[in-house]
Structure 1
Amino acid sequence: MNDLLSPISDTQDTPRLPLKPLGKVIAVTSGKGGAGKTFVAANLAAALARRGHKVLVLDADLGLANLDVVLNLHPKITLHDVFTGKATLEEAILQAPGGFSVLLAGSGLVEYSRLTPEVRNDLLRIIDGLVPNYDIVLLDTGAGISDVVLFAVSLASEVLMIATPEPTSLTDAYATIKVLVSQQQRQTVRIVVNQAARTGAGLPITNQLQQVLDRFVTTAAGHPIRLVHMGDIPIDPEVRQAVMRRQLLMQNSPGCPAAQAITQLATRLENTVMPKLA
């Protein structure tokens, strides 16, 4: 892994994004597409709602949104309509299966693939307007380190990085964490290992990633970045069945191993993260 996660050179100057974290906001992100962040965000929201929390998931993958597909929703009003003034924020919020709220983005909208001043201000205004009305807001971001993704992450008080055991996923997670440290001065990133071979298999992976970060990445103040292993979601055939049926795993198969792992993740967030965000 150390060879795969060797230091990544900075080939271009990327503008620093000011960190404006808002309480009660958690960014669910990943370094690589296909890690399962939308699946985790939606089912984690359902698990938190089941525990009595008022939760909203915002599809912050503005250009390639697919939260609507995961939830089998067909919105008539999206975040695009709010941005353009065609609808109010309240009109765009939908109730999702699982007992939580969603704010869906449109897919294939090229104008949201870059962080223009308009997109930046609109996104900040929307999230700022949502926070007072919910116990927790989950941002389902895009993957990688585009300026839109990084700005969305910068608005969150906590980062939940979803990675799989695949070397490419871990390499991209490392690269993304490095950018979060250098541009946003992040000192803590929380890791969830999805598609783990078994429960507990992700902790050694997180520890290896921590060792590489300790060697190559420090904050501006010279402090090491701290990874917090929040748990694993094991490989489970019920996950594929739920995804193909466009149903939440927490509703379709709440007793399966993957659903139990997501419930445990919700409990850890409830006990360790949410009290600090209140």
Structure 2
Amino acid sequence: MSDAPSTQPIPADASPAPAQTGARIIAVTSGKGGVGKTFVSANLAAALARRGQRVLVLDADLGLANLDVVLNLHPKVTLHDVFTGKARLEEAVIAAPGGFSVVLAGSGMVEYSRLTPEVRSQFFHAVQKLAPYFDVILLDTGAGISEVVLFSISLASEVLIVATPEPTSLTDAYAAIKVLAMQQKRQHVRMIVNQAARPGDGRAITGQLQQVLDRFVMTDSGRPLRLIHMGDIPADPAVREAVMRRQLLQLLNPGCPAALAVAQLANKFQETLLRHAA
């Protein structure tokens, strides 16, 4: 990867860090679609990059990828090209607005919506190859609990569930968290509530879900899975404007309530990263 063209946003030193200090991998996922998962992934990446982190967002929604739409990017090389041997992985790493890097899946990769052994191997090795060159890799997964989504999440050390206050979103978030506890033996999952109507709504919702988890979902340690509330993103008309204009909220309107909430989320993850590094 050290011979990557200078136009590729691989860190300038182009020398991988030791394995134990490689990228912290965070899966950003949701129980259902339409809750703002990709919006959170992209803007969290920008906020972390602003804090000096080398960040890569890898589009792990192989079937219905739309990170390119959110960022208004038109890549010449996607994961599809890499997986089919038409391009090298280094060529798929491109610069995104906001100071971070992305690897885009390409829209409508229907052939990758099933987790075949080949897809599993290709995706795993892509993440492993990229990890030494970044401080943080955000996996923008698909929604739900398909095999592809669960495999993507299994590669991450941290999971961030994005939900909204709507009952269907919370029901699906609970289902996803339960699967992560049972199948992946997760001890904790982080959660952020998007489109919160009032301050404190997200913490109350997280508390309610925790009560259900306490009753019905136990980890291998015999303790309930711990749901960590990472904050709320308030309902904010500036979000819709940014999405419609295909721009990052962190760049278009960094002082609006939703952008400030994402910045606070980045601060919390920054603290987690520093503890990990120590």
TM over 0.5, shorter chain: yes
CA-CA distance at 1:100 after TM superposition = 0.3
* 2:75 alignment partner, SS class: coil
Specify whether residues 222 and 23 from structure 1 end up closer, same or farther in structure 2 by C-alpha distance, changes over 3 A only. Answer: farther
Per-residue Cα deviation, 1:29-70 (whole angstroms, up to 9, x for no partner): 000101111000000000000111110000000010000000
CA-CA distance at 1:219 after TM superposition = 1.3
- Taking the aligned partners of 2:93 and 2:275, their CA distance within structure 1 comes to 25
- 2:261 maps to 261
* 2:208 alignment partner, SS class: helix
Contact 2:44 2:263 in 1 (8 A): yes
Aligned pairs (5 A) from 1:26-41: 26-41=26-41
Specify whether residues 60 and 252 from structure 1 end up closer, same or farther in structure 2 by C-alpha distance, changes over 3 A only. Answer: same
Specify every segment of 5 or more residues in structure 2 that has no aligned partner in the other structure, as ranges.
1-21
- 1:97 maps to 97
- 1:161 maps to 161
- 2:182 maps to 182
- 2:247 maps to 247
* 2:108 alignment partner, SS class: coil
* 2:212 alignment partner, SS class: helix
Q: Which runs of 4+ in 1 moved over 4 A?
A: none
- Taking the aligned partners of 2:261 and 2:176, their CA distance within structure 1 comes to 25
Per-residue Cα deviation, 1:69-110 (whole angstroms, up to 9, x for no partner): 000001111001111111111101110000000000022122
- 2:130 maps to 130
Which deviates further from its counterpart, 266-275 or 99-108?
266-275
- Taking the aligned partners of 2:199 and 2:95, their CA distance within structure 1 comes to 32
Q: Aligned AA for 1:267?
A: N
CA-CA distance at 1:23 after TM superposition = 5.4
- Taking the aligned partners of 1:270 and 1:40, their CA distance within structure 2 comes to 15
Q: Aligned AA for 1:154?
A: S
Specify whether residues 159 and 239 from structure 1 end up closer, same or farther in structure 2 by C-alpha distance, changes over 3 A only. Answer: same
Contact 1:41 1:140 in 2 (8 A): yes
Contact 2:23 2:133 in 1 (8 A): no
1:55 counterpart = 2:55: yes
Q: Aligned AA for 1:216?
A: F
Q: Aligned AA for 1:62?
A: L
Specify whether residues 52 and 150 from structure 1 end up closer, same or farther in structure 2 by C-alpha distance, changes over 3 A only. Answer: same
Aligned pairs (5 A) from 1:1-278: 24-276=24-276
Q: Aligned AA for 2:211?
A: Q
Q: TM-score, normalising length from structure 1? A: 0.90
CA-CA distance at 1:201 after TM superposition = 1.6
- Taking the aligned partners of 1:165 and 1:261, their CA distance within structure 2 comes to 16
Q: TM-score, normalising length from structure 2? A: 0.90
- Taking the aligned partners of 1:271 and 1:200, their CA distance within structure 2 comes to 22
- Taking the aligned partners of 2:27 and 2:274, their CA distance within structure 1 comes to 13
- Taking the aligned partners of 1:106 and 1:49, their CA distance within structure 2 comes to 24
Per-residue Cα deviation, 1:204-225 (whole angstroms, up to 9, x for no partner): 1000000001001111332210
Between the aligned residues of both structures, percent identity stands at 72
- 1:16 maps to none
Specify every segment of 5 or more residues in structure 1 that has no aligned partner in the other structure, as ranges.
1-21
* 1:215 alignment partner, SS class: helix
* 1:156 alignment partner, SS class: coil
- Taking the aligned partners of 1:141 and 1:59, their CA distance within structure 2 comes to 7
CA-CA distance at 1:273 after TM superposition = 4.3
Specify whether residues 273 and 213 from structure 1 end up closer, same or farther in structure 2 by C-alpha distance, changes over 3 A only. Answer: farther
* 1:250 alignment partner, SS class: helix
Specify whether residues 215 and 277 from structure 1 end up closer, same or farther in structure 2 by C-alpha distance, changes over 3 A only. Answer: farther
* 2:26 alignment partner, SS class: strand
